[in-house]
Amino acid sequence: MLKVEALYTEYPNEKGEVVRAAQNVSFDVPEGKLFTLLGPSGCGKTTTLRSIAGLERPRSGLISVDGVAVYSSTKNVFIAPNKRNFGMVFQSYAIWPHMNVFKNAAFPLEVGSKKFSKKQIEDKVMRVLTAVGLDHVADREATKMSGGQQQRLALARALVMEPKLLLLDEPLSNLDAKLRERMRFELKRMQRELGLTTVYVTHDQSEALALSHEIAVMSAGQVVQIGSPRDIYERPRNKFVADFVGLTNFLDATIDGKAGEASFHVKSSIGALSVTSFNDFATGDNVLVSVRPEDIELTEQRPEGVNVIEGVVDFKVFLGEYLDYQVKVGDHQVLARVHPSFNVPVGGKVFMRMNPEKCITIQDNTQYQKAA
């Protein structure tokens, strides 16, 4: 449905220096799917979204929808934003304070190039207001509504033109934590039920994991990994992705030999381990092993199996549904996340068991840079 190919977007900053915001960005979004651009502030994700919308003019590349180019540097094509038929929702909902809910949602139909009758406008507006659960407050002043309702109104206004593509730029960032979590489920439900092809921009990893069919993690203007939420979380390809998406332990290690098709033996900073890798390494290569805290099993007695390391509890924190343990192994600290029923005092001896399939070996070759 949406195809972005070899997109480069650059612009001068206030000092006249060239900011390389998007560098060789490529991805495809199938019809009806929600695709998320995830990354820290300044990684180029919003610039990429604005390029798709037509609010930025890229230096080169291709952006097409259903095989029709809305931007092509080779064919000198640039379709104006208002001609692309894309719906957009930004961090600021831009609700018109002098209009009620119905009028806010109807506004794009009344000012658009295509003319609709009063009856057509009423039917279209009430249909989208019903879809977002605001049909019962159509006559209410828009600014008298809650933040969650205003967010849904901004979405309704974007949907009323029946856009080919919905573009969302951090639409939940202005909501409080509990409302943001509720709206994630609401947004996911609407996107799935209405079959909206959506590109979503966020720096919030939990949001990306909860909402997306597929995620592109961005750093320094580049896409560093594309995959399903589970792939991104469980199979990071480099240190940046492993570190940015969730908590993890990084262990310095050296490849000691191959153990199978996608597995190796390593000498790590806490001892000998069996690990999994999606890259090919040679004996003697220096690598990093990433292990999520929840993938470390703690026991008081030495368990059977491989990847069992003895340590001492250095610190622990009760967090309601789980406990975080800092376990000291020599000079190294390892974070383990366990059920609150596990109770070993600080200074007590514990054993850590790590499933080799959850010990992911990666190269430490990602630069932490900002783009735009």
- The CA distance from 150 to 161, in Å, is 18
- For domain 2-239, the question of CATH label 3.40.50.300 is answered with yes
Residue 293 to residues 198, 199, 353: CA-CA distances in angstroms?
A: 32, 31, 11
How many whole angstroms separate alpha carbon 318 and alpha carbon 246? Answer: 19
Q: Tell me whether residue 346 is exposed, middle or buried, using C-beta atoms within 10 angstroms of its C-beta: 0 to 12, 13 to 18, 19 or more.
A: exposed
Residue with the two structure tokens 């390389």: 20
Top-tier CATH class for 248-362: mainly beta
Question: What is residue 365's predicted lDDT score, i.e. its pLDDT?
Answer: 60
Q: What is the DSSP string of 136-155?
A: GGTTSBGGGS-HHHHHHHHH
What is the sign of the dihedral through the CA atoms of 43, 46, 52 and 54? negative
Helix axes 147-159, 101-111, angle to 10 degrees: 20
Residue 163: its pLDDT value, please? Answer: 87
277-305 burial string, b = 16+ CB within 10 Å, else e? beeebeeeeebbbbbbbebbbbeeeeeee
Enter the pTM of the model.
0.87
What is residue 62's three-state secondary structure? Answer: strand
Q: Could you tell me the two tokens for 92?
A: 């600021």
Task: Write out the residue limits of the CATH 3.40.50.300 domain(s) in the chain.
Answer: 2-239
- Partners of 363 in the beta sheet? 238
**CATH 2.40.50.140 in the chain, residues?**
248-362
Average pLDDT of each block of 10 consecutive residues along the chain (372 residues)?
95 82 96 97 93 95 97 96 88 80 91 85 91 89 86 87 90 80 84 91 94 96 96 94 94 93 94 93 95 97 96 96 96 96 96 97 62 40
Say what the pLDDT of residue 369 is: 40
